[in-house]
Amino acid sequence: MPDLARVAAEFGLGAVLDAAPLPGGHRDVTRLTTGRGTFVVKPGYQTADLELYERVASALNQAGIRQARPLRTTAGALVSASGHAVQEFLPGRICLPPSAAQTTAVMRHLAGYHAALTKIPVSAVATPAETVWTRVAGARYLVRELPGLLRRHAPPGRAGDRPVTALLGHLERGLPRLCDLPRQLVHGDIGPDNVLMDGDTVVAIIDFTPLRQPVLFAVAGAVYWYHIHGQAEPDLDAIRASLAAHRPWTAPERAAWPAMLAREALRRFATPFAIAAQQPRPPPAWPQARYQAVVSIMRCWPRLPALLPD
C-alpha cells in the first residue's frame, strides 16, 4: 500500500481516516477516506490517458451521466510526485450475475453515454501504443493472423477448428460493412464487472478503456459479456430486448451487426493465443468459455440480423 498520508497531502485531501483495498478492484487500487471524503487511489500511468479521462468525465457529468472525476494535486497535476492518481469514489456495487432488469438498464445507459462522448473529437484520442490487446481488436488482424496463431499455439487437434474457421469467414465477408461505420471515442470493455449498480439503476461505468471505434463495437462487447460468454445457449429474445433498449439503429449498423459480434467473440478467443505468441511458452489452455461463445454465435448466425429491432 502506498504512503497514503503523502498522497493525501499531495492532493490536499486532509488527514487520513481510513484506507483499504478497493472491493472488487485491482490489488494496487485503494479506497481512501479523509476529512474531505472518500476517494480512489491508484498508480498514475500515462498522463495523456488521464487528461483524456478528465475530458471524458467532464463531458459525461455535463450530460447528467455520472462518472468519477479525477482530482488534481495542489500543484495542478493529475499524477502526483509519488506517482499516484486520485479520483472521487462512487458508491455502488458490481452485480455478478446481473439480472435482466440490470442488463436492460445498462444497455439503455450506453446510448446516452456514447452520445455524450461524441463531444470529444476522435482526434483528441491519442493513438495507443500497440499491445496484444489493441492488435486482437483489429478485424483484419483476426482474419489474417488467427489461423496461424492456432496452428502454432493451439493444443493438438484444435489448430483447424471448424467453428472458428467458419466465423472467421463471416467476419472476412463483413469487413467492408465494418469499415463503413463512423468511428468515435468509445469505452472498449463494457461488461458486468465494469458497471457499478444501485439495484436496477446504473451508477457509473468504470475502468474507462478509450478506443476509436464505432458505437456498435462497444455495444457488441456488452452483448458478448452480458448475454453470450458463459451461457450454455444465448437467449436471443433477451439480446433483442437489450438492443431495443439502446437506441434506433442505422441501416449501416444493421448490416454490420453480425460481423461486429463475430469480431468481438473472435478477439476474446484469440487473446490467449496472441499472448502466447509474444514469447516462447507452452500452448495456452484451450479457452473453453470463449470457444463456446464462438460456437454459440455460429449456431444462431442466421438469426442474428433479426435481433436488431426495426
Q: For residue 200, what pLDDT is reported?
A: 97
Q: For residue 142, what pLDDT is reported?
A: 97
Q: For residue 125, what pLDDT is reported?
A: 63
Residue written as grid cell 446516452: 112
- Is the separation of the CB atoms in 210 and 52 below 8 Å? yes
- CB count within 10 Å of CB 177 equals 17
- Is the separation of the CB atoms in 57 and 99 below 8 Å? no
**Would you call 15 exposed, middle or buried from its count of C-beta atoms within 10 A (0-12, 13-18, 19+)?**
exposed
Residue written as grid cell 439495484: 199
Tell me whether the omega of the peptide bond preceding residue 97 falls within 30 degrees of 0, making it cis: yes
Q: For residue 267, what pLDDT is reported?
A: 96
- Is the separation of the CB atoms in 97 and 119 below 8 Å? no
What backbone torsions phi and psi does residue 206 show, to the nearest 5 degrees?
-115, 180
The rounded distance, in Å, linking the Cα atoms of 231 and 296 is 9
User: What residues form DSSP beta bridges with 19?
Assistant: 32
Q: For residue 280, what pLDDT is reported?
A: 73
Cell triple for 39: 476517494
**Would you call 295 exposed, middle or buried from its count of C-beta atoms within 10 A (0-12, 13-18, 19+)?**
middle
**What count of residues does the chain have?**
310
Exposure pattern of 179-212 as b/e (b: 16+ CB <10 Å)? eebeebbbbbbbbbebbbbeeeebbbbbebbbbb
Cα angle at 276 between 270 and 231, to 5 degrees? 35
CA atoms within 13 A on the CB side of 255: 12
pTM here is 0.93
Counting residues of the chain whose pLDDT is more than 70, the rounded percentage is 98
Q: For residue 158, what pLDDT is reported?
A: 87
The rounded distance, in Å, linking the Cα atoms of 71 and 113 is 21
294 three-class SS: helix
Q: For residue 19, what pLDDT is reported?
A: 95
273 three-class SS: helix
Enumerate residue ranges in the chain where pLDDT < 70. 25, 124-129
